[in-house]
Amino acid sequence: MAASHETVLVLDFGGQYNQLIARRVREAGVYCEMLPYTASLERIRSFDPKGIVFTGGPASVLDPGTPQVDPAIYALGIPVLGICYGMQLMARDLGGEVVRAPQREYGRVALSIDRTGRLFGDVVAETEAWMSHTYHVGRLPTGFRSTAASANCPNAAMEDSAHGLYAVQFHPEVLHTPEGTKVLRAFLYDACGLAGDWNMGSYAQEAIEAIRAKVGSRRVLCAMSGGVDSSVAALMVHKAVGRQLVCIFVDHGLLRKDEGDQVEEVFRKQFDMNLIRVDAEARFLSRLAGVTDPETKRKIIGEEFIRVFEEESKKLGTLEVFVQGTIYPDVIESGASQGGAAKIKSHHNVGGLPEKIGFHDIVEPLRMLFKDEVRRLGEELGIPAHIVWRQPFPGPGLAVRIIGDVTREKLDLLREADAIYREEIAKAGLDRAIGQYFAVLTGMRSVGVMGDERTYDYTLALRAVTTTDFMTADWARLPHDLLATVSNRIVNEVGRINRIVYDITSKPPATIEWE
């Protein structure tokens, strides 16, 4: 597992910003992996990490049974940065005292910095930081000094630089801490002495070689949904083993306008991939006929996908290795899952596919990458921007953007309307600024008037949200002129849609998709 590049480990104590910490480290050009805090010292050592970060977490170090690390970690000679809960843990483990703060701090807080602190050389003396804590370090462990303070938190940062131990009570990883990136970089470059020369190009090279070594001379099968992840995963394997890879692209007929053709064109023509496109629209639509419940739609689409895939793969003889487009957040969430979160929607579209069709081995080329890194990798490999920067699109496709039953007619209306909406957003230069945007064909019909005629047609909803994590989202304040253009064009050009509404709910309480 120890690769040729420098690695930092992020130990996960369950805080909500933890994945962001790992992303920030990688953005600083340092490869990092996230492990649950329960990882053994032996496992930690096997990575030969050049630095370790303890994340925040919801627990209090004062409670019994609270998450711990083996205190021998502090004596490994590897620099450690404790964040929030991680700071309190470090303080307690090394003989300091953690107490309930006189006042809980939550939100942006003014911070006075000691610029002689190793993490703060580049930070302005008076700044702001994002805090979220009820407890804090009351007494520092021997050998530590305080390097930052807020009005209610005298030890907002501490360090024992002789032993490579650093900690901050605030969250340097979030955007609300304007100087946070500098703090993280100082830890990586100064405290850990890292070069920060990890990049997507060298990662791709290394990962492709690893795939080649793993696959050997065996034949490989990939199930492509048409989406970004499975496409980039397939291309990585193609670069590694060429035509030993066969891709089955199950076109369920629920893709956006021209999407299936574009995917086929790029991967077959540009990359000369061994791609079989299965036109399964009729099968999917007949199984979806009359189905209105969102979860039933998802289940049917997932099942049918597997069935079509199974039938097609049987025709190909023995293929021993299977490509899966798992990305890093799935890995982290399954490993560090605390359980108990209520299931709102079942997002795992084709879970269990390789087991069901009895594969011996799988390759997961994106297993270590965050979503935005998958896109960067895709660009690095030469996938055109219009493919790699496509909007996030759910596996069940337009079926969950048509409220009520799904028909070919409704799909065509929605495809046209959605294409106009996306085109206008791109024209306005907003396509990368908005987290996600799409049109929804509501099941509602209402009265309108076109020319002198009464109409009784569909209501289309436009959705646009700003978000970074898709767990929470705010509705995007799109310019009214843009909305007016989109509305006019859709009503005039699509037909059967006579009313357009704009969704002004955030998540929560709404979700991003309507189903």
Burial letters 268-278, b for 16+ CB under 10 A, else e: beebebbbebe
DSSP state of 74: G
Q: Which stretch binds ligand XMP (CB under 6 A): 120-128, 197-205, 343-351, 381-389?
A: 343-351
Per CB under 6 A, 347 contacts ligand XMP:
yes
Per CB under 6 A, 422 contacts ligand XMP:
no
Residue tagged active-site, from 133, 171, 238, 252: 171
Q: Which of residues 265 and 293 has its CB atom nearest to ligand XMP in the complex? A: 293
Per CB under 6 A, 371 contacts ligand XMP:
no
Per CB under 6 A, 349 contacts ligand XMP:
yes
Please say whether the beta carbons of 172 and 157 come within 8 A. Answer: no
Place of tokens 């509705």: 475
DSSP string, 27-51: HTT-EEEEEETT--HHHHHHT--SE
The yes-or-no answer on residue 192 being catalytic is: no
Binding ligand XMP by CB under 6 A: which of 277, 298, 375, 410? 298
Per CB under 6 A, 505 contacts ligand XMP:
no
Per CB under 6 A, 329 contacts ligand XMP:
no
Nearest to 233 by CA among 260, 208, 269, 255: 208
Q: Least CB distance from residue 394 to ligand XMP, whole Å?
A: 3
Q: Least CB distance from residue 436 to ligand XMP, whole Å?
A: 5
Q: Which of residues 210 and 510 has its CB atom nearest to ligand XMP in the complex? A: 510
Nearest to 155 by CA among 108, 94, 80, 88: 88
Q: Which of residues 226 and 394 has its CB atom nearest to ligand XMP in the complex? A: 394
Nearest to 322 by CA among 288, 297, 356: 356
Q: What is the H or E stretch that residue 259 is in?
A: helix 259-264
Per CB under 6 A, 299 contacts ligand XMP:
no
User: Which residues, numbered 443-482, are part of the site for ligand XMP (CB under 6 A)?
Assistant: 470
The yes-or-no answer on residue 173 being catalytic is: yes
Q: Least CB distance from residue 404 to ligand XMP, whole Å?
A: 17
Per CB under 6 A, 513 contacts ligand XMP:
yes
Q: Give residue 253's region: left, alpha or beta (phi > 0; psi -120 to 50).
A: left
- Find the radius of gyration of the CA atoms of the chain: 26
Helix (H, G, I), strand (E, B) or coil at 448: strand
The yes-or-no answer on residue 84 being catalytic is: yes
List, by residue number, the catalytic residues. Answer: 84, 171, 173
| Contacting positions for ligand XMP (CB under 6 A) | 298, 344-345, 347, 349, 392, 394-396, 436, 470, 507, 511-513
